[in-house]
Amino acid sequence: MFGIPEPWWSVIRAVVWALFIIIFLAVNAIVAVWLERKVSGRIQRRIGPQRVGRPIGWAQTIADVFKLLVKEDVRAEATDKWVFLLAPAIPFAAITLMFLVVPWGKNLIPLNLNIGLLFVVAVTSFEVLGLFMAGWGSNNKWALLGAMRTAAAMISYELPMVLAILAVGMTAGSLNMNDVVNAQSRVPFILIQPVAFLIYYIASLAEANRTPFDFTEAESELVAGANIEYSGLRWAFFFLAEYGSLVGTSAIAATLFLGGWRGPILPGPVWFLIKTYLLVYVAMWIRWTLPRVRIDQLLDFGWKFLLPLALADIAVTGIVLALL
């Protein structure tokens, strides 16, 4: 294409997509943090940030980014050096990979994998590895407790999440993200699979460590959880990954259940962003409404309710598909 020989064209395409995803995640963190502050402010009848970048405080998070960039990178003597230093990169890498298979529009997908759904599930599991490394390498009991709780929560909620995604795959008849979006050309799957959507959304809140399941960062109990020993840029990477995984799980939910980039009048990527940020907003709305559940309640709910429900959903889906 454009007179560029094929292998080079693929390389250019890959680099451009990679840059795009990373920049998107960075910008998203800035926008999402701003949105979170605004939403929490409005829920508490405040107005949130407004002084830096009047009148809506748009520059507040940008100022915070600069603050984080110039902060000292502290590492305690007793930490496990390489585990500690590498941990922040992993959750961010996992989120970046997740966006590899998310379609932005017709034929606008970084990598059209035929097992896209499976790929999403596989790479999001890496996030827990990074958080656990952070907790282990910090050599700090709060960090370790936070990391272990996170691992417990994420592993328990991964199962119902996978099963919910599987139900979507069965309905669409494919694990390819493009096919899933195309299968929703008439009815979005949220109407066909409402139970799967609920399961996915609840599990994704746990996966993205959002309240009511924010065990990584249970401020009131664990000070800051797994990332307690981090500062400056390394801490910023955890933060980036946190908001990245929020927008990532919302993007997947929008693609699987809300019809992805499909929508009237507006171009595909715009619809995709609207739907994604609608779900991001709902997650924030939930965060500022509900308190954190107890860890045993979380595990109980995951294993004793969500998992059987997801299995039942799959069974019903299978029966209906067989009868049709």
Partner 1 sequence: MKVADIGKAAVNIAKGLGVTFGEQLKKPITNFYPDTPATVKDGYRGVPVLVQLPTGEFTCTACMACVRACPIGIIQLDTVMVDRKRAMDEFRLEVGRCLQCNLCVESCNFDALVMAPEFELASYTREPLVLYKNDLAKLYAKYFWPKEGEEHHFPARVTSKHHAPGAGTGTPRGPRAAKIAQTGVTLTPGGGGGEPAGKTPVGASVPAESAREATGTTRPQDTGAQKAGEGA
Which residue ranges make up the site for partner 1 (CB under 8 A)? Answer: 39, 41-47, 285-286, 288-290, 300-301, 304-305
Nearest-approach distance from CB 272 to partner 1, in angstroms: 24
Using alpha carbons, select from 168, 170, 115 the residue that is nearest to residue 322.
Answer: 170
Closest approach of partner 1 to the CB of residue 289, in Å = 4
Q: What's the closest the beta carbon of residue 166 comes to partner 1, in angstroms? A: 22
Contact between 301 and 152 under an 8 Å Cβ cutoff? The reply is: no
CB-nearer residue toward partner 1: 42 or 141: 42
Question: How near is the Cβ of 196 to partner 1 at its closest, in Å?
Answer: 16
Helices (H), 138-208: 141-172, 177-183, 189-192, 194-207
Let me know: does 280 contact 247? Beta carbons within 8 Å: yes
| 57 close to 51: Cβ distance less than 8 angstroms | yes
Tokens of 28: 């998203």
Q: Which residue, 40 or 231, has its beta carbon nearer to partner 1?
A: 40
Of 6 and 296, nearer to partner 1 (C-beta) is 296
Q: Which residue carries 């970084």 as its tokens? A: 110
Whole-angstrom Cα distance, residue 116 to residue 301?
Answer: 28
DSSP-derived secondary structure for 253-319: HHHHHS-TT--SSS-HHHHHHHHHHHHHHHHHHHHTTSPPPPHHHHHHIIIIIIHHHHHHHHHHHHH
Which residue lies nearer to partner 1 by CB, 43 or 111? 43
C-beta closer to partner 1: residue 46 or 106: 46
**Based on CB atoms, which residue is closest to partner 1, 41 or 105?**
41
Minimum CB–partner distance for residue 304 and partner 1 (Å)? 6
Nearest-approach distance from CB 250 to partner 1, in angstroms: 17
